[in-house]
A and B are shown apart, each in its own frame.
Chain A
Amino acid sequence: MNNLTEELKAHPGLSDIYGEASADVEAAADPESLEAVRVKHLGRKSPLLQLLRSIPKLPAEEKPVAGRLGNQVRAALEQALLTRKQELEESQLRERLAAEQVDITLPGEPFPRGHLHLITQTLWEIEDIFIGLGYRIAEGPEVETDYYNFTALNTPEGHPARSSHDTFFIEGHPDVLLRTHTSPVQIRVMEQEDPPVYIIAPGRVYRRDSDATHTPMFHQLEGLAVDENITMADLKGTLEVFVKSMFGAEREIRMRPHFFPFTEPSVEIDVSCMICEGSGCRACKHIGWLEILGAGMVDPNVFGFVDYDTDRVQGFAFGMGIERIAMLKHRMTDLRMFFDNDLRFIKQF
Chain B
Amino acid sequence: MKVPVSWLKEYISFDISAHELADRLALTGTEVERVGRAGLPATDGNLDRFVIGQVRSKAMHPDAAKLSLCDVDIGGGKTEKIVCGAQNFEDGDKAAVCLPGGVLPDGRTLEAAVIRGVESHGMMCSEAELGLSSEAAGIMILPEDAPIGGRLIDYLPVSDEVLELEVTPNRPDCLSVYGVAREVSAVLDAPLMPEPVEDIEPRGDDDVEELIYIEVADPDLCPRYAARIIAGVNVGPSPAWLKARLVAAGIRPVNNVVDITNYVMWSLGEPMHAFDLAKIAGNRILVRRAMAGEKITTIDGTERALGKHMLVIADNQHPIAIAGIMGSEDSEVSGETTDIMLEAANFSGPGIMASSLELGLRSESSTRFEKGIDPELVPKALAMAARMLVELAGGRLVPGQYDIYTGPPSPVAIHLREERIESILGLPIAGEEAEAILARLGFGVRREDSAMHVDVPTFRADVTREIDLIEEVARVFGVDAIPSTLPSGMRAKGGLSEHQAAERGIARRLADSGLSEVISYTFIAPDFADRLMLKDEDPRRRTVPLANPLSVEQSVMRTLMLPSILQTVALNLAQRNQDINIFELGRVYLPVSSEKLPLEKRTVAGCVCGSMRGESWTGGGRVADFFTGKGLVENAFAAVNGDFQVRRAGEPFLHPGKSAGIMVAGEPAGYVGEVHPRVLEAFGIDRPVTAFEIDEDALIGSSAGIVQFEDLITFPAAYQDIAVTVGLDTTAEEIISVVREAGAPLLRSARVFDVYKGEQVGEGKKSVALGLEFRSPERTLTDEDVDAARQKIILLLAERLNATLRA
Residues 160-175 of chain A, each 1 if its beta carbon lies under 8 Å from chain B, else 0:
1111100011111111
Residues of A within 8 A of B575 (CB): 342, 344
Residues of B within 8 A of A210 (CB): 550
Residues 739-763 of chain B, each 1 if its beta carbon lies under 8 Å from chain A, else 0:
0000000000000000000000000
B-contacting residues, A98-154, CB 8 Å: 106-107, 109-117, 119-120, 124, 127, 130-137, 141-145
Asked if A237 is an interface residue, CB under 8 A from chain B, the answer is yes
Instruction: Name the CB-closest residue of A to B491.
Output: A196
Given A160-B353, A198-B492, A143 and B598 contact (CB-CB distance below 8 Å): yes
Asked if B359 is an interface residue, CB under 8 A from chain A, the answer is no
Asked if A305 is an interface residue, CB under 8 A from chain B, the answer is no
Asked if B460 is an interface residue, CB under 8 A from chain A, the answer is no
Cβ 8 A contact of A160, one of B23, B169, B577: B169
Shortest beta-carbon distance from B167 to chain A in Å: 9
Asked if A31 is an interface residue, CB under 8 A from chain B, the answer is no
Instruction: Name the CB-closest residue of B to A338.
Output: B519
The answer on a CB contact under 8 Å between A114 and B482 is: no
The answer on a CB contact under 8 Å between A343 and B582 is: yes
Cβ 8 A contact of B29, one of A115, A117, A234, A259: A259
Shortest beta-carbon distance from A177 to chain B in Å: 9
Residues 168-207 of chain B, each 1 if its beta carbon lies under 8 Å from chain A, else 0:
1111000000000000000000000000000000000000
Docked complex Cα distance between A216 and B522 (Å): 10
Given A115-B511, A257-B475, A342-B575, A170 and B546 contact (CB-CB distance below 8 Å): yes
Instruction: Name the CB-closest residue of B to A127.
Output: B496
Cβ 8 A contact of B483, one of A132, A145, A233: A233
The answer on a CB contact under 8 Å between A134 and B600 is: no
B-contacting residues, A6-21, CB 8 Å: none
Chain A: number of interface residues, binned into ranges: 35 or more
The answer on a CB contact under 8 Å between A257 and B474 is: yes
Instruction: Name the CB-closest residue of A to B545.
Output: A171
The answer on a CB contact under 8 Å between B522 and A204 is: yes
The answer on a CB contact under 8 Å between A231 and B425 is: yes
The answer on a CB contact under 8 Å between A232 and B427 is: yes
Chain B: number of interface residues, binned into ranges: 35 or more
Which stretch of B393-401, B611-619, B694-702, B712-720 is in the interface?
B611-619
Residues of B within 8 A of A314 (CB): 423-424
Residues of A within 8 A of B169 (CB): 159-161, 163-164, 259
The answer on a CB contact under 8 Å between A217 and B522 is: yes
Docked complex Cα distance between A161 and B370 (Å): 10
Which stretch of B48-56, B266-274, B500-508 is in the interface?
B500-508
Residues of B within 8 A of A114 (CB): 510-517, 581, 583
Instruction: Name the CB-closest residue of A to B465.
Output: A300
Residues of A within 8 A of B600 (CB): 141-143
Residues of A within 8 A of B436 (CB): none
Shortest beta-carbon distance from B173 to chain A in Å: 13
Given A255-B480, A342-B577, A171 and B547 contact (CB-CB distance below 8 Å): yes
Docked complex Cα distance between A344 and B490 (Å): 44
Residues of B within 8 A of A169 (CB): 546-548
Residues of B within 8 A of A95 (CB): none
If over half of A's interface residues share one DSSP class (helix, strand or loop), that class is named, otherwise mixed; here it is mixed
Cβ 8 A contact of B485, one of A142, A174, A234, A255: A234
A-contacting residues, B383-437, CB 8 Å: 423-427
Shortest beta-carbon distance from B51 to chain A in Å: 33
Asked if A45 is an interface residue, CB under 8 A from chain B, the answer is no
Residues of A within 8 A of B598 (CB): 143
The answer on a CB contact under 8 Å between A227 and B489 is: yes
A-contacting residues, B458-509, CB 8 Å: 465, 467-468, 470-471, 474-475, 479-480, 482-497, 500, 504, 507-508
Residues 528-563 of chain B, each 1 if its beta carbon lies under 8 Å from chain A, else 0:
000000000000000011111110001001000000
Residues of B within 8 A of A346 (CB): 516-518
Docked complex Cα distance between A124 and B508 (Å): 11
Residues of B within 8 A of A297 (CB): 424, 467
Cβ 8 A contact of A134, one of B490, B504, B621: B490
Residues of A within 8 A of B425 (CB): 231-233, 265
Residues of A within 8 A of B159 (CB): none
Asked if A251 is an interface residue, CB under 8 A from chain B, the answer is no
Asked if A250 is an interface residue, CB under 8 A from chain B, the answer is no
Docked complex Cα distance between A173 and B597 (Å): 10
Docked complex Cα distance between A257 and B167 (Å): 12
The answer on a CB contact under 8 Å between A233 and B513 is: no
Instruction: Name the CB-closest residue of A to B479.
Output: A255
Q: Which of A143, A175, A197, A299 has the most CB of B within 10 A?
A: A143
A-contacting residues, B367-391, CB 8 Å: 370-372
Asked if B350 is an interface residue, CB under 8 A from chain A, the answer is yes
Asked if A68 is an interface residue, CB under 8 A from chain B, the answer is no
Residues of A within 8 A of B328 (CB): none
Shortest beta-carbon distance from B608 to chain A in Å: 10
The answer on a CB contact under 8 Å between A158 and B349 is: yes
Cβ 8 A contact of B492, one of A134, A217, A234, A344: A134
Residues of B within 8 A of A106 (CB): 617
Shortest beta-carbon distance from B184 to chain A in Å: 15
The answer on a CB contact under 8 Å between A132 and B487 is: no
The answer on a CB contact under 8 Å between A112 and B612 is: yes
Shortest beta-carbon distance from A22 to chain B in Å: 50
The answer on a CB contact under 8 Å between B485 and A264 is: no
The answer on a CB contact under 8 Å between B616 and A109 is: yes
Instruction: Name the CB-closest residue of B to A218.
Output: B519
Asked if A228 is an interface residue, CB under 8 A from chain B, the answer is yes
Q: Which of A132, A141, A163 has the most CB of B within 10 A?
A: A163
Residues of B within 8 A of A264 (CB): 465, 467-468, 470-471
Asked if A347 is an interface residue, CB under 8 A from chain B, the answer is yes
Instruction: Name the CB-closest residue of A to B617.
Output: A106
Residues of B within 8 A of A109 (CB): 616, 618
Asked if A157 is an interface residue, CB under 8 A from chain B, the answer is yes
Residues of B within 8 A of A111 (CB): 514, 613
The answer on a CB contact under 8 Å between B507 and A116 is: yes
Shortest beta-carbon distance from A65 to chain B in Å: 58
Residues of B within 8 A of A338 (CB): 519
Instruction: Name the CB-closest residue of B to A113.
Output: B514
Cβ 8 A contact of A145, one of B467, B572, B596: B596
Shortest beta-carbon distance from B234 to chain A in Å: 39
Asked if B571 is an interface residue, CB under 8 A from chain A, the answer is yes
Instruction: Name the CB-closest residue of A to B462.
Output: A259
Cβ 8 A contact of A112, one of B424, B490, B522, B613: B613
Cβ 8 A contact of A240, one of B350, B484, B617: B484
Shortest beta-carbon distance from B543 to chain A in Å: 10
Shortest beta-carbon distance from B368 to chain A in Å: 10
The answer on a CB contact under 8 Å between B357 and A107 is: no
The answer on a CB contact under 8 Å between A258 and B516 is: no
Instruction: Name the CB-closest residue of A to B422.
Output: A231
Shortest beta-carbon distance from B464 to chain A in Å: 10
Instruction: Name the CB-closest residue of A to B23.
Output: A287
Residues of A within 8 A of B483 (CB): 233, 236-237
Residues of A within 8 A of B27 (CB): 254, 256-257
Docked complex Cα distance between A314 and B420 (Å): 12
Docked complex Cα distance between A261 and B169 (Å): 9
Cβ 8 A contact of A136, one of B34, B480, B494, B581: B494
Cβ 8 A contact of B550, one of A176, A216, A234, A267: A216
A to B CB contacts below 8 Å, 9 in the list: A112-B514, A114-B515, A131-B494, A168-B546, A173-B596, A231-B424, A236-B485, A256-B479, A297-B424
Known pairs A141-B600, A169-B547, A171-B546 / 8 extra A-B pairs, C-beta < 8 Å: A172-B545, A178-B546, A208-B548, A208-B550, A231-B426, A233-B482, A256-B31, A259-B169
Chain B residues proximal to chain A, CB less than 8 Å? 23, 26-29, 31, 34, 168-171, 349-351, 353-354, 356-357, 370-372, 423-427, 465, 467-468, 470-471, 474-475, 479-480, 482-497, 500, 504, 507-508, 510-523, 544-550, 554, 557, 568, 571-572, 575, 577, 580-583, 587, 589, 596-598, 600, 612-614, 616-618, 621
- Nearest 10 interchain pairs by C-beta: A112-B514, A158-B350, A233-B426, A231-B426, A257-B29, A259-B168, A257-B475, A265-B471, A237-B484, A114-B511
